[in-house]
Chain A
Amino acid sequence: MSKPIESPAGAPHARILGVGGYRPSRVITNEQICQVIDSTDEWIRSRTGIEERRWATAEESVGVMSVAASGKALAAAGIEAEQLGCVVIATVTHLVQTPSLAADVANQLGAANAAAFDISAACAGFCHGLALAQDMIRGGSAEYVLVIGVERLSDLTDMNDRSTAFIFGDGAGAAVVGPSQTPGIGPVAWGADGSQYDAIGQTFNWERLREESDAGFPALRMSGQQVFRWASYQMVPVAKRALERAGIAADDLDAFIPHQANNRITDAMIKALKLPAHVPVARDIAKTGNTSAASIPLAMERMLEEGEAPHGGTALLIGFGAGLVYAAQVVVLP
């Protein structure tokens, strides 16, 4: 008879110990965008809530931004890189199939004891990462996990596309997740709807660059109304499920931090969730644009830094994006 294997459990709970963000140095105003597309600052603001966004310089690669955001998160958490058991990076703009960005970033940080891998879950990537981190810590696969959301969406933005040129931005947000005696991250409410695979995505496969010498470069495109409807209405039951599973009512929240896709989606969600007026809501999109996987940790960092949300408060996070995929959970803010 074979000897039974052992499978010890990990920590009873997990929590976010620290968060840090990196915003690129180049500020791009709506006026600058409107020099290329036929639009106005007023139209962009009323359609999306965006006043300006940040685009990375050549030096501000996804790696550079990840390392910078991670340094801040580790310092905020009071954790050394050597203590990390895993580095997970959520991104869709690490423009090489292999090796992963996480392996490179883990090495640069000095996370010598960490496993490292990237995940591709679009604008829901950070929330997917938090769910994985929590499970790893409770399951015993890692004690401290670094979750990063980073994007250089400007690399995949068609500056001449009137429907998307003003939306996308660049940046990185990181969170250090660690063990906790009390719950710090609620159960995830997540899922995927591949029937809407065509709603958001890259215009063409990289292979076309090999087949057609004048293919140009692929870009991100979206079916605006379809995505707006899906995000504004179908994501509300997901948010409610995340609240229910955590035993929290909308009334109990100290912050609502949805993916910063579009201010109008945020408004529609607030209405449908009947979120009480006293709950602060993330509006980072105004200065940052839509940074996909980086948007939630960047928004969280800003709300904490500016005193809009309390340290130790309860926040509802919800990410949703290309796939279409989504993930939401209630967390205790670091």
Chain B
Amino acid sequence: MAFTQEEVLEGLAEIVNEVAGVEVEDVQLDKSFIGDLDVDSLSMVEVVVAAEEKFDVKIPDDEVKNLSTVGDAVSYILAHAES
């Protein structure tokens, strides 16, 4: 089942809210995790692990560094999730 960008953004917003207490509405594509949303590098790991489960995708450690914005994460998930 392929996800739409909207579904991924929504799912990711739920995860970021659960892990780091960020308001769901604040999780927008152009927001940076560390700078805008105050999600530190350890919380990023928790977000990534939850996203792997939710979207059935693998996000290796060396990829996590490249996910600076919510948009980066959404694009990665869309590109790598099982269809």
Point out residues on A near B: beta carbons under 8 Å: 46-47, 223-226, 228-229, 232-233, 262, 264, 268
Contact = CB atoms under 8 A, between A and B. Distances in A.
A228 B49 contact: no
A37 B12 CA distance: 34
Contacts, number: 27
Nearest to A226: B61
A232 B43 CA distance: 11
B49 to A, nearest CB: 6
Nearest to B65: A225
B61 A232 contact: no
A-B pairs with the 3 shortest C-beta distances? A226-B61, A229-B45, A264-B42
Contacts of B7: none
B49 A225 contact: no
Contacts of A232: 45-46, 49
A232 B44 CA distance: 13
A224 B45 CA distance: 10
A47 B39 CA distance: 11
A164 B72 CA distance: 28
B49 A47 contact: no
Q: Is the interface of B mostly helix, strand, loop or mixed?
A: helix
Taking residues whose C-beta sits less than 8 angstroms from the other chain, chain B's interface range is: 10 to 19
19 contacts: A47-B40, A47-B42, A223-B61, A224-B41, A224-B42, A225-B41, A225-B42, A225-B44, A225-B45, A225-B61, A226-B61, A228-B45, A229-B45, A229-B48, A229-B49, A229-B61, A232-B45, A233-B49, A268-B46
Given A232-B45, A268-B46, 12 more contacts: A46-B40, A224-B42, A225-B41, A225-B44, A225-B65, A229-B45, A229-B48, A229-B49, A229-B61, A232-B46, A233-B49, A262-B42
Contacts of B44: 225
A225 B45 CA distance: 7
B75 to A, nearest CB: 20
A225 B41 CA distance: 7
Contacts of B61: 223, 225-226, 229
B64 interface: yes
Interface of B: 40-42, 44-46, 48-49, 61, 64-65
Contacts of B45: 225, 228-229, 232
A264 B19 CA distance: 12
A90 to B, nearest CB: 27
Contacts of B49: 229, 232-233
Contacts of A223: 61
Contacts of A228: 42, 45
A148 to B, nearest CB: 31
Contacts of A268: 46
A47 B38 CA distance: 12
A329 B64 CA distance: 33
A92 B17 CA distance: 40
B12 to A, nearest CB: 18
B71 to A, nearest CB: 20
A45 B65 CA distance: 23
A226 B59 CA distance: 12
Contact of B64 (A47, A225, A264): A225
A228 B40 CA distance: 12
A262 B41 CA distance: 13
B79 to A, nearest CB: 21
Nearest to B48: A229
Nearest to A223: B61
A237 to B, nearest CB: 14
